[in-house]
Structure 1
Amino acid sequence: MAAALISGEDGARVAEARATLVRALIGPEGEAEMRLDRMSGAELRREPSRLLDALKAVGFFPGPRAVLLEEATDGLAPVISGALDAWAPEDARLVVTGAGLPSKGALRKLFEGRRGAVAITLYDDPPTEGEVGDMLREAGLTRVEPGARDDLVALAQALPPGDFRGLLERLSLHQMDAPEPLDAGVVAALAPQAGEAEVDDLLAAVTEGRRDRVAPLLARLSAQGTGPVAVTIQALRHFRALLAVASDPGGVNAGLAALRPPAGGARRQALTRAAESWRRERIEDGLRSLVELDLALRSGGRVPDRALLERALMRLASNRAE
């Protein structure tokens, strides 16, 4: 296989599939041995020759190499096609990820019709009861009371896939040394509260520069009764965590491991993507603007609170897109 395209609406599922494929291609130590070259779609647009250079590069350490291109869009299809035309078996394997790529778009057509390339599309169908059981076993949750299992099956239908996986991670940590089986009370205590998953989606949209998602997600939160001050507080926590992860001298993974409380599921994936794409100065600017927003919301003024919040989040999303 020369190249693979992974696409889907759920960023957490795409990131999980990407990580699994990259590990299969270069092994668990491949990234530590500098046999993985990462780049974003925006970086490739600025420097189209970078992809072929990365595929042809010779690594310092022996072993298979991979090039990871994230946030790819259909506009990059000609560049990717040209690089694959020049690909040889001794070159690095190419892994491309994209969000919500259309079935008849240029990228999916390129990978689906090209020999030596594969296209993997992840759909957001909720897991069945049997699949939930498999996920519980994989998370080490083998002692689960029937009521708790029923609640988890229901939550799997209601939560985004990344949020449900994050819940299983929290439950697994909670039950690690617990003498009693997992019960419905623990599930209720650790499950995302109303609006929490939507706030995570909103903050992921902001840090990924998806300005078109900001207003609809804010409207949904407002309809659920989540106010601008509550959203701002969570945004401040998110950007403080993002700054800690991006500033860790040991790198992004070390920063994530040091977070307290730990981040899991979709939130962890969002922090990972943002830490890899936001410069530290941008994160610090974002924190300052959120502090100013918090003060403005608490002091009152002529401009409606929701309008102030939307304006501030749109500016942050624009900062990511620059």
Structure 2
Amino acid sequence: MSDDAPVPVGAMPDGSPILEARLAGDGLSVAVLSLGAVIRRLDFQGRPMVLGRDDPHDYVARTPQCGAIVGRFANRIAGGRFTLDGTTYDLPRNEAGLTHLHGGAGGFSRRNWRFAEAGARAVTLTYHAADGEEGYPGALAVACTYAIAGPGTLRTTLTATTTKPTLVNLTNHSYFNLTLPPDGSPAPTIDDHVIAIPAEAYLPVDEAQIPTGAVASVAGTRFDLRRPTRIGAQAFDHTFVLGRETVPEPRPVGRVTAPGSDVALTVLATAPAVQFYDGTHLARAGLGYAARSAFCLEPEAFPDAPNHPGFPSAVLRPGETYRQIIEYRFTRETAR
């Protein structure tokens, strides 16, 4: 076995091994699990940047998608139902019995992926979703590559192909905190973190966090994060609109700094939108996390896209290739 080969660190309920691979270089140290293609650890210059569990079995059912690739459709689908090419599909309603969230309880974050390639600076994991898995049409072949792409930069490349018309919307669901204690003690809240998102519009939602269909200007609202803004306790779990199309190369979708930290995080992506979640409900996981002890920036398609004709399509057809790139770029700055 080479030094770069993934090693077993646990087992799935069916006995199949959970493997872990490690990447290092350019100031980053990254641990990736086969389970959910999870980023278990992401350290920048020896300092932890994401929430992660010491026990890999916590990822089987307990974590709120910590570090995982979520899909087949990230975010929410109203009523767990959509119509495609005249056929209506019913999906599991795994959020309060009302909505379909992050691909369902058996979504990609709960599946054991396969390491197709593993090296010192990059790994590729693959997963094959069966036709009908979690109610979705089409067998889907998915690949996720994590690569150290330069100083302090982790690039995630997600691709997929299908045998039937289907929905695809993939993202990484890492929880970040730029002031995590290196000794593993409880994380402070991210209330004092400062965020900027270069979006001129956002998607208003109803009480079930489903988009109303409107695309609203951020001007004059608490969603205007175009200038650096203290996160505070505002209960953010909203989609910010970056454009109508997926772009070929990653563009900035969010930047975060924190008082007392000399690290800045810039997230870049090709997706048309980004979900900003401030971790308000993290305590519900029962894993010792306090509310707002980390935040997520999830580049993705518009939530509930198949039920809103005015939203950009999230449909993938045979012969097409879905592609999404996300970069996490850490830099050192003057302490704030």
Range of TM-score over shorter length: under 0.3
The structure where strand makes up a greater share of residues is 2
Q: Higher helix share goes to which structure?
A: 1
The two structures have a TM-score, normalised by structure 1, of 0.26
State TM-score, norm by structure 2: 0.25
Pair member with larger Rg: 1
